[in-house]
């Protein structure tokens, strides 16, 4: 029997969630976002199953290179663009589409003369104030880049939403209006919607959208569960009980003795901890599933183990499966307990956790599973 923590990755759920994006934004083309190792699910495996997306989006050139090396031939958008000319050269060699967000990138692009024109997206800062050009700079840039033989096809305009997780916040509509105002005649491809925008803000359903978290089956919206949004979790993080102990009233459990048994009680120990990516900040009371039934954590999270209050589960046995998140235990709920967001929990599952891919289509010819 396998006691290693495992992340079971449900590719049927991934395809279902992609279909949800299509239903919500039927007129949009989809950049499926697979950055950060596919939000922790395996970038190449996600990219392979997302073959019916129109393209894949990553943050960095290096991530795109890994997709190409695995045999993926779809369009790839690099959302942070490039920093130095070696990255620009790699982007050209692999035919990536690049988002440009500062003047030095434009200058570098114009300096290097090659026979391989690139597709370019101008990243516009419409209110997030992280990356991007000011809207006033855009008309000039559009003219410059559109005339540049280094640039293939129409230049795209993209922006990123800062507060779309809150459907009542007016900034989202304002950001959409600011981007759309730059292209009143609809000459250029626009890209706004992230998952939250796609679900809650129609103005962000531009000709290209960039969903990430919803593909993996977590909710991007405050106060809405993934189940309400008809999304299915792609990852189940699971392990097993490796001990069941009968402790006495007054016994303190784990590092720091933070939990003291209020009565004689059964306590389970499961083989997973922060060394596997389970959040160390998950407090006493955070739920897990033991054999499919809820039980609360007690004590501190260790590197390799967690303690579980088994008072409600007197028949629990060593070897029983323990689910940390997945169907019936939304990762969003665990994130809330741990004071973070699903994105972080999913991304930081460590390489010590074995990834098991279920219902995966064959890899592209020559592709190797990473």
Ligand X SMILES: *Cc1c(COP(=O)(O)O)cnc(C)c1O
Binding residue for ligand X (CB under 6 A) from 13, 14, 20, 33? 33
Using rule CB under 6 A, residue 195 touches ligand X: yes
Q: Decide: helix, strand or coil at residue 297.
A: strand
DSSP E strands, the chain: 6-10, 29-33, 55-58, 76-78, 97-100, 120-123, 156-158, 190-191, 208-209, 235-247, 252-253, 259-260, 265-270, 287-290, 293-298, 306-309, 321-325, 354-358
CA distance 51 to 270: 37
Per the CB < 8 A criterion, the answer to whether 342 and 218 are in contact is: yes
Binding residue for ligand X (CB under 6 A) from 49, 126, 194, 206? 194
> Closest residue to ligand X, Cβ-based?
212
Binding residue for ligand X (CB under 6 A) from 24, 160, 205, 240? 160
Dihedral over alpha carbons 341, 346, 351, 357 (to 10 degrees): 170
The site string for ligand X over 35-54 (x = CB under 6 A, - otherwise) reads x-------------------
| Phi, psi for residue 227 in degrees, rounded to 5 | -65, -40
For ligand X, the closer CB: 18 or 238 = 18
The residue with tokens 């304002």 is: 174
Q: How many helices (H) and strands (E) does the chain have?
A: 11, 18
163 tagged catalytic:
no
Binding residue for ligand X (CB under 6 A) from 11, 205, 210, 236? 210
255 tagged catalytic:
yes
Using rule CB under 6 A, residue 211 touches ligand X: yes
Piece in contact with ligand X (CB under 6 A), picked from 2-10, 211-219, 248-256, 344-352:
211-219
Binding residue for ligand X (CB under 6 A) from 5, 47, 220, 279? 220
Binding residues for ligand X, total number by CB under 6 A? 12
Binding residue for ligand X (CB under 6 A) from 21, 53, 79, 306? 79
Which of the residues 163, 216, 255, 278 is marked catalytic? 255
Two tokens, residue 248:
């006495």
For ligand X, the closer CB: 212 or 277 = 212
Minimum gap (Å) between residue 275 Cβ and ligand X: 26
Two tokens, residue 84:
């130095």
Residues at the contact surface with ligand X, assessed by CB under 6 A: 33, 35, 79, 160, 194-196, 210-213, 220
- Which residues have a catalytic role annotated? 35, 255
């Amino acid at each position: 029997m396998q006691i290693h923590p495992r992340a079971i990755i449900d590719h049927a759920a991934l395809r279902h969630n992609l279909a949800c994006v299509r239903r919500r934004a039927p007129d949009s083309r989809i950049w499926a976002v697979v950055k950060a190792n596919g939000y922790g699910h395996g970038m190449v495996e996600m990219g392979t199953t997302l073959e019916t997306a129109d393209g894949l989006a990553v943050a960095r050139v290096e991530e795109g290179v890994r997709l190409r090396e695995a045999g993926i031939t779809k369009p790839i958008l690099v959302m942070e663009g490039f920093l130095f000319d070696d990255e620009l050269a790699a982007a050209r060699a692999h035919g990536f589409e690049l988002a440009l967000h500062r003047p030095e990138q434009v200058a570098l692009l114009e300096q290097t003369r090659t026979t391989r024109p690139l597709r370019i997206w101008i990243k516009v800062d419409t209110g997030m104030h992280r990356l991007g050009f000011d809207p006033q700079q855009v008309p000039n840039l559009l003219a410059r880049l559109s005339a540049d033989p280094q640039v293939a096809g129409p230049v795209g305009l993209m922006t990123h939403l800062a507060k779309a997780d809150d459907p009542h916040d007016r900034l989202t509509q304002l950001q959409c209006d600011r981007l759309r105002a730059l292209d009143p005649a609809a000459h250029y491809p626009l890209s706004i919607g992230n998952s939250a925008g796609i679900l809650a803000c129609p103005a962000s359903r531009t000709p290209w959208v960039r969903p990430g978290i919803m593909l993996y089956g977590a909710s991007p919206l405050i106060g809405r569960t993934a189940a309400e949004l008809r999304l299915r979790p792609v990852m189940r993080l699971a392990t097993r009980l490796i001990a069941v102990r009968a402790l006495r009233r007054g016994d303190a459990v784990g590092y720091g003795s933070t939990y003291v048994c209020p009565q004689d009680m059964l306590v389970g120990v499961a083989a997973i901890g922060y060394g596997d990516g389970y959040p160390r900040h998950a407090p006493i009371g955070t739920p897990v599933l033991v054999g499919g039934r809820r039980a609360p954590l007690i004590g501190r999270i260790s590197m390799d183990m967690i303690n579980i209050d088994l008072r409600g589960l007197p028949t629990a046995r060593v070897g029983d499966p323990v689910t940390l998140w997945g169907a019936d235990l939304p990762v969003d709920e665990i994130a809330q307990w741990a004071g973070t967001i699903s994105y972080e929990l999913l991304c930081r599952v460590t390489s010590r956790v074995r990834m098991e891919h279920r219902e995966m289509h064959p890899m592209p010819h020559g592709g190797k599973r990473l």
